[in-house]
Amino acid sequence: MPHPEVRNRTSFAYESLLVSDEEAVPQFVSLVQGCYGISKEGRAVLLDEQPAPVIGGEWYGDPASSSMRLEPQIAFWKPGTDVVMLGYAHAPGGAASRMQVGIRVGPMQKLVNVIGPRRLLGSAAGFRITEPEPFESIPLRYEHAFGGWDRRAEDPGRHRCEGRNPVGVGFRDLSYDTDDEVILPNIESPDHPFRSYGETPPPTGFGFIAANWQPRLAYAGTFDVAWDRSRKPLLPADFDRRFYNSASAGLVAPGHLRGDESVIVVGAAPEGRVTFNLPGEAAPVCLVEMRGRNLVELQTVMDTVIVDMEQRTLTLQWRAHFPVRNGMDDILAIEAVSGAAH
């Protein structure tokens, strides 16, 4: 069967997707993405060239050993809006050994401590943390937060990792002998700093959380013998749709943002503080013409906000879905229109 005709009447990029829900019911997804520049005057200005959504996701390196820059588009619906910030911590005045970086979007806010390179050193007298070295900038990535692997054992089967952040630093398995030197994380929660050998403070950051990291993985449900016998290949009966939210702790809205909220970013730009408002665009509407000439109207919701302070861009994603028995074969045409014009 031919692909549906797509008529995009918006100023944004558009993609149609087909994914399955927990019961393997095909879900047609309309994904609309708007990309804006963040001006020095504090405004979100729509870009002339609108990049297409990155459907397969993007990592900072090898997906097996690095954090995600952009999430894969596997969700047909998110219970709340994800807020993600990408970029670097920029030391005030060009150099610092400690600083704070934070973001606030509407009612949500998050603050982290960013600390220069330091180590935990052991001796007969005990452990001590070295003074942090000055830095100009540090990437706001989970590679610089608490986590990582302990691979000191010769037997690879005994290697252990921090399930909340396998790509970080500082994790040590206490079943091994103590290490004389441990590289410590640069990014920490102000409420849970690293203090001593073997501690496991919560990894913290502003980026996307991978689907196989905790606590997100726990929402995928229980893949046990009962699932293998009675549900496989469907998702477990205790699958929780909160799994589809992939923002870090504290940056998932309880519901969906309106899209006109104020934004404050501190410490992630050379000028220190950046403020602007989300542009207040009316959520796009998608009109789907079905075989049999039925017309389905889909009202999208804004479920992802990406503030990229390195590129000085703001990306908004609106999404809507409905079940289709025969997948894309059920659809003749799709028309995406501005919510304000509809």
Q: Is the pLDDT of residue 126 over 90?
A: no
Q: Is the pLDDT of residue 1 over 80?
A: no
Coil, strand or helix at 158:
helix
φ, ψ of residue 244 in degrees (nearest 5): -75, -20
Least Cα distance to 79 among 256, 299, 247, 239 occurs for 256
What does the pLDDT read at residue 269?
95
pLDDT digits (tens, 9 = 90+) for 183-199: 999 999 999 999 998 89
Q: Is the pLDDT of residue 40 over 90?
A: no
Coil, strand or helix at 296:
strand
Q: Is the pLDDT of residue 86 over 80?
A: yes
Q: Tell me the C-alpha distance between 340 and 72, whole Å.
A: 29
Neighbours of 49 (CB within 10 A): 6
Q: Is the pLDDT of residue 117 over 60?
A: yes
Average pLDDT rounded to a whole number, residues 284-292:
92
Which helix (H) or strand (E) segment is 230 a member of? helix 225-230
CA distances from 110 to 183, 198, 234, 245 (A): 25, 26, 36, 17
Q: Is the pLDDT of residue 26 over 80?
A: yes
The pLDDT-based confidence of 175 (bands split at 50, 70, 90) is confident
Dihedral-angle region of residue 327 (phi above 0 means left; psi in -120 to 50 means alpha; beta otherwise): left
* CB distance 225 to 236 below 8 Å: no
* CB distance 278 to 34 below 8 Å: no
Q: Is the pLDDT of residue 83 over 70?
A: yes
Q: Tell me the C-alpha distance between 15 and 263, whole Å.
A: 27
The pLDDT-based confidence of 91 (bands split at 50, 70, 90) is very high
Q: In angstroms, how far is CA 332 from the centroid of its own chain?
A: 33
Average pLDDT rounded to a whole number, residues 291-316:
94
The pLDDT-based confidence of 59 (bands split at 50, 70, 90) is very high
Average pLDDT rounded to a whole number, residues 209-217:
96
What does the pLDDT read at residue 2?
62
Neighbours of 54 (CB within 10 A): 15
Residues with Cβ within 8 Å of 334's Cβ and at least 6 positions away in sequence, in order, are 4, 5, 6, 7, 16, 30, 286, 287, 288, 289
Average pLDDT rounded to a whole number, residues 314-323:
97
Q: Tell me the C-alpha distance between 250 and 235, whole Å.
A: 26
Q: Is the pLDDT of residue 239 over 80?
A: yes
Q: Which residue has the higher pLDDT, 3 or 92?
A: 92
Average pLDDT rounded to a whole number, residues 55-84:
96
* CB distance 284 to 318 below 8 Å: yes
CA angle 226, 230, 231 (to 5 degrees): 100
What does the pLDDT read at residue 170?
96
Average pLDDT rounded to a whole number, residues 267-294:
93
Average pLDDT rounded to a whole number, residues 132-157:
95
